[in-house]
Amino acid sequence: MSIVKIDSNDNTEFKSATEELGVYFSSLAAKKGRKITYNVLTYGCQLNESDSEKLEGMLMSFGLTHTEEEGELAKADVILMNTCSVRENADKHLFGNLGVFKSSVKQDKDTIVIICGCMMKVEENVERIRRSYPYVDLVFDPQQIHRFPVLLRDSLRKSKQLVNIGAIDYIAEDDYFPIARQRKFRALVPIMYGCNNFCTYCIVPYARGRERSRNFDNIVIELKDLYSRGYKEVMLLGQNVNSYGLNNEDGKTFKDVLEAASDIGFNRVRFMSSHPKDLSDEVIDLMATRPNIEKHLHLAMQSGSNKVLKRMNRPYSIEQFLDIASKFRSKVEGGSLTTDIIVGFPGETEEDFCETLKAVEKAAFDAAFTFQYSIRPGTKAAAYEDQIPKDVVTERFDRLLKIQNDLAFKSNEDKVGKTFEVLIEGMSKAGKGTYTGRTLSNHLVNFTIPEDIMPQDEDLEGRLGIVRIDHARPYSIDGVLERFSDV
Ligand code: SF4
């Protein structure tokens, strides 16, 4: 399939649709005598978050205002749900919310409901919306985001439900979109789109199309601009960042992007996600030697059984995976290694599962996202006949969780008595007067700030400080800020 490159200088239709929507919403505001509001609900991964930042940017460019009513999605005039089909219960969230929106639409016929994201690449979800939720105005998939203003304009012109599910592997540079960045210190920067790997449990290659990488020079321009605007942390995103550039002609690889981001001078450069088959020694060396590249590697293992890995279409052996893990540990001082694991994949025997437990202990992951396998419609594994009974999956999952929680707690306990630089993210949910942030190794830290060093009336989000750790918990560490390190 060919890749369509969209030039940000040639977006006439995008611009004219944006203008038309601006006129539409300003006359709606005049009719109602108030601002017209929007709200966006995002599920799933950081790529979905990044898509939502673009969608929000576009909604704002139509003249809409984010609703003040935090968490009250249904009270906005324009309600947008960016769905995910990877996370469990996504369908329950979507259809549960759609039921709630019905009364909003009944109360105000001008309410606009929009659904997008990976779930819209599953035909049965789209059919259900067509059949049972006629008040949804617009449905589109992740490959159509660059056409959002055009699609919304067309659905309003027709005043009937518009469903636009396509299969164009487009690549639009980020300057094509207005972007409403959600964090003032961290910028999400997708460097590539789509995936070619077709893991048998995953819908992403169908939902987001084939792998394609952004232009290297454009990424560097965007990174320099973000740095000049004061962003301290950049997160380079892709389903498989380590295969960045494979189809580009300039020969640039992920190592070049990582090095360029580090050279620009951000306090922190992070990246997500890495596939074990593509992670190069050069990238690990760069992580080891550059002080501003995170000392954290998220590497999805998925299973410790070579038989299961093969059926998952994960082209590495557990021995190769563990080699990479020990290489990372030996080279990157103080590094943390995290992973994803699926329990109860079709055909997984007790013996296979024990291989996973053994691998988990050998790799000594600092943290793991553990999932109970459940069927994802539209994937190859959904048709496998040897699905594992739910009670067996749950029992195995609990055993894995126990081992992994002990490992995570041990990793956190090792930090007690030491100091770490923390990038402050804001107030912690842990309690009044407590702040939260992350170390360069991505450990979550909750900490207090002594009164004598607490700045007056200052928003601390994005500040850097040295925290002494005095307590470990299973999923976080606690401490006290000793001093700010960015002054
Ligand atoms: S690498 Fe596998 S799990 Fe990750 S997005 Fe691609 S197909 Fe899905």
364-368-370 Cα angle (round to 5) = 125
Q: Is the CB of 299 under 6 A from ligand 1?
A: no
Cβ 275 under 6 angstroms from ligand 1: yes
CA distances to 137, 153, 463 from 158, rounded to whole Å, are 10, 9, 49
Nearest to 482 by CA among 471, 467, 470, 469: 467
pLDDT digits (tens, 9 = 90+) for 81-113: 999 877 667 777 888 888 888 887 878 889 999
Q: Is 200 in the pocket of ligand 1 (CB under 6 A)?
A: no
Burial string for 184-195 (b: 16+ CB within 10 Å, else e) reads ebbbbbbbbbbb
| Residue 202 CA to ligand 1 centre (angstroms) | 6
pLDDT of residue 238: 95
Cis peptide before 273 (omega within 30 of 0): yes
Cβ of 147 closer than 6 Å to ligand 1, yes or no, is no
Query: For position 467, what pLDDT does the model report?
Result: 98
* Ligand 1 atom nearest to CA at 240: 1
pLDDT at site 9: 63
Q: 118 in ligand 1 pocket by Cβ < 6 Å? A: no
Query: What pLDDT is stored for residue 6 in this prediction?
Result: 67
| Residue whose structure tokens are 């004061």 | 230
Distance 366 CA to ligand 1 centre (A): 22
Can you list the residues of the chain whose pLDDT is less than 70? 1-10, 68-71, 87-88, 167
> What pLDDT does 437 receive?
96
Residue-range domains of the chain with CATH: 3-168 (3.40.50.12160), 183-290 (3.30.750.210), 295-414 (3.30.750.200), 419-484 (2.40.50.140)
Under DSSP, the state recorded for 385 is: S
Please work out whether the CB of residue 195 comes within 6 Å of at least one atom of ligand 1. Answer: yes
Report how far apart, in Å, the C-alpha atoms of 359 and of each of 114, 310, 327, 400, 454 are: 43, 16, 15, 11, 45
List all residues 6 or more positions away from 346 whose beta carbon is below 8 Å from its beta carbon.
311, 373, 381, 384, 385, 386, 387, 388
Closest CA to 112 of 161, 165, 72, 62: 161
Q: Record the pTM.
A: 0.92
The minimum-distance atom of ligand 1 relative to the CA of 208 is 5
Cβ of residue 369 lying under 6 Å from some atom of ligand 1 = no
Distance 145 CA to ligand 1 centre (A): 20
